[in-house]
Amino acid sequence: MKLKTSQRLDALRNTMSEAQVAAIYIPSSDPHLSEYLPEYWQGRAWLSGFHGSAGSLLITDSFAGLWTDSRYWTQAYSDLKGSGFVLMKAGAPEIPGPIDWVRENLAPGSVISMDGQLMSLAQLDAWHDLKQHGWVIDDSMDLLNTIWLDRPALPNQPVYEHKAPFAQRSRQENIRQLRDSMRSLGANWHLLSSLDDIAWLFNLRGADVSYNPVFLAHALVSLDEVRLYVSLAKIDQALSEALRDEGIQLRNYTDLAADLRQLNAEQTLLVDPQRVTAGTLGMAPHVKTIRAANPTQLAKALKTEGEVNHIRAAMRTDGAALCEFLAWFDAHVNQQAITELDVDRRLIEARSRGEGFVSPSFGTIAAFGPNGAMPHYQATIESHSQIEGNGLLLIDSGGQYLGGTTDITRVIPVGRVSEQEKHDYTLVLKGMIALSCARFPEGVTGQQLDVLARQPLWDAGLEFGHGTGHGVGYFLNVHEGPQSISWRGRGGPGVPMQVGMVTSNEPGLYRDGKWGIRIENLIVVVPAEETEFGRFLKFETLTLCPIDTRCILKELLTASEINWLNTYHDQVRESLAPLVQGDTLQWLTHRTAHID
């Protein structure tokens, strides 16, 4: 029997009572700790009705809370109405995290249940701290599965090769580089569960996860052996033979547990505590582990010059598609009915005509007026706005191309734009330009650079709640590490920015109930110069699309900022003009005209 939404929480509480569990913790996760989840593992969304990409649940017999960060507070408040869940604003000073909530509200001896298959080693270590004070942590049960009667099946899409010319590094080169790192760490074996690391290592791609060209798999690599654990039905005979010819053993996805149990107890296993779940490692409790970041994280972040050249080409293709859409939009807005869903549909149509296009790189954010104040707003058939009258339209979108992954945000004026909207827009633009122009010595991290993008906003007493920049994959996940640009980064000194790292540059400003502004380009770290004081780096802007000048208060820009914008628009026009024609070319020429 299929349960109605209103029945799910009660059914789970009945199951908890039968299992003598005081509380259950449900993260947004899967056994690969992915950001975007196959439907099979979207239990948090199924149970609560909140469909944002980040959040966790804690449920007792009298309390049900959803923790999510400031990007989703407005959306969560709306999604949770009538669900029985309360919004816990993660990061707000007065709101305890789930662990602290347990300390404050449940007596020692209470049993806290969670599925260890969905908990990273680092996450479970934090929960196990409660054990020292008398609480019981049981990570052996998937209680949600007992009531999720119509749970979707696991995805089973084909796996395919990412081939030359787009694949610039061979599988053997990647494996050899990984083994060098393993030797330096003293590891005999390395377990990989993160899907983008596995896809990169083997030059393989798939479609098991929306927007990310990856497939469900684990991998075990030793100094003389390579095993790939994947549903064998996903790999055709030709690819299977090619992998075996290169010494890569194909094992069924479910064979990992038995192989982990058979590892030599005297050997060491390298695991990334942020990217391997406790449940997966629990299959090999006898093995000595070395806990460190997957070496593939940094290796795939450092794009080669050949890869960057392909990304530049993908940016031209993507920019031409965006210009086609924006020219159409400017010509028809306030002349015919256009909704936020129309924006998404037409963007996908324009991109799909581009060479090498595979899919969107994430769900398009087309947010008009007050909807733009929700940084990760998603229009749906049930809830979306018509774009008409006066206001700002925020469009955050991207594409997966065989030669790269794109991510761009632009804000488009509709009708009359107020002075306050222009003021906010210009401050955001100033921050984006400041980061674009940064020059810095080797060793500087994204955390240290973040202030450049925020200073114009801070000077006005303004701030935004998300990071300024995230790493971007090469025909891989639109969000990847290890680098980021955010003063709110996780503990530690951060990862230095290095040549070849592709990162977003996206400061923003959000006024609840009014509007949202975010301007985003992708940038790549390139050499700047070498002086007696060391080697200096800078950013090259990769994204090619006009930045709307109708929202600018020119008096707030310096001469150097205006010069940067004019120079950028010259580059956009020269790069994209050969790829467009007719009304789109006329629009491009007009939108890239210099400002005084």
The secondary structure of residue 372, as a DSSP letter, is G
> Of all helices (H) and strands (E), which one includes residue 293?
none
Residue 445 tokens read as 């991290």
- Note the pLDDT of residue 1: 43
CB atoms within 10 A of CB 284: 21
86 phi, psi to nearest 5 deg: -110, 150
How far apart, in whole angstroms, are the C-alpha atoms of residue 509 and residue 237?
51
CB atoms within 10 A of CB 31: 20
Single out the residue of 533, 540, 550 nearest to residue 593, CA to CA: 550
Strands (E) across 265-344 are located at 268-271, 288-291
DSSP 89-135: ETT-TT---HHHHHHHHS-TT-EEE-BGGGSBHHHHHHHHGGGGGT-
Compute the half-sphere exposure of residue 301: CA atoms within 13 Å on the CB side of its CA.
22
Single out the residue of 198, 205, 200, 122 nearest to residue 161, CA to CA: 205
**CA 58, 59, 60, 64: dihedral to nearest 10 degrees?**
100
Give CATH for domain 5-146. 3.40.350.10
Residue 25 tokens read as 């913790």
CB atoms within 10 A of CB 403: 19
- Note the pLDDT of residue 374: 87
59 phi, psi to nearest 5 deg: -130, 130
Q: Do domains 5-146 and 160-300 have the same CATH topology?
A: yes
Is the CB of residue 516 less than 8 Å from the CB of residue 373? yes
Q: Which CATH superfamily is domain 160-300 in?
A: Creatinase/prolidase N-terminal domain (3.40.350.10)
**CA 491, 497, 498, 500: dihedral to nearest 10 degrees?**
110
Q: Where are the domains of the chain?
A: 5-146, 160-300, 302-586
Cα separation values, 293 from 104, 485, 495, 535, Å: 33, 19, 12, 26
Burial 202-225 (b: 16+ CB within 10 A, else e): bbbbbbbbebbbbbbbbbbbbeee
How far apart, in whole angstroms, are the C-alpha atoms of residue 26 and residue 66?
9
CATH of 302-586, one of 3.90.230.10, 3.30.360.10, 3.40.718.10, 3.40.80.10: 3.90.230.10
131 phi, psi to nearest 5 deg: -60, -35
Please state whether the peptide bond connecting residue 285 to the residue before it is cis, i.e. omega within 30 degrees of 0.
no
**CA 69, 71, 75, 80: dihedral to nearest 10 degrees?**
-10
Helix, strand, coil shares of the chain as percentages rounded to 5? 40, 25, 40
How far apart, in whole angstroms, are the C-alpha atoms of residue 115 and residue 26?
8
Question: Can you give the pTM of this predicted structure?
Answer: 0.92
The one-letter amino acid at 367: A
How far apart, in whole angstroms, are the C-alpha atoms of residue 313 and residue 146?
49
Q: List per-residue pLDDT tens for the chain, 596 residues long.
A: 455 666 899 999 999 999 999 999 999 999 999 988 999 999 999 999 998 888 999 999 999 999 998 878 878 888 888 888 999 999 888 999 999 999 999 999 999 999 999 999 988 988 988 888 899 999 998 999 999 988 999 999 999 999 999 999 999 999 999 999 999 999 999 999 999 999 999 999 999 999 999 999 999 999 999 999 999 999 999 999 999 999 999 999 999 999 999 998 889 999 999 999 999 998 888 899 999 999 999 999 999 999 999 999 999 999 999 999 999 999 999 889 999 999 999 999 999 999 999 999 999 999 999 999 988 888 888 878 899 999 999 999 999 999 999 999 999 999 999 999 999 999 999 999 999 999 999 999 999 999 999 999 999 999 998 999 999 999 999 999 899 999 986 545 689 999 999 999 999 999 999 999 999 999 999 999 999 999 999 999 999 999 999 999 999 999 999 999 999 999 999 999 999 999 999 999 999 999 98
How far apart, in whole angstroms, are the C-alpha atoms of residue 344 and residue 163?
30
How far apart, in whole angstroms, are the C-alpha atoms of residue 489 and residue 471?
13
- Note the pLDDT of residue 95: 93
How far apart, in whole angstroms, are the C-alpha atoms of residue 60 and residue 20?
11
Is the CB of residue 517 less than 8 Å from the CB of residue 508? yes
**CA 439, 444, 445, 451: dihedral to nearest 10 degrees?**
-50
- Identify the bridge partners of residue 509 per DSSP, sorted by sequence position: 517
- How confident is the model over 544-587, as pLDDT tens digits? 999 999 999 999 999 999 999 999 999 999 999 999 999 999 99
Cα separation values, 29 from 33, 140, 552, Å: 5, 16, 41
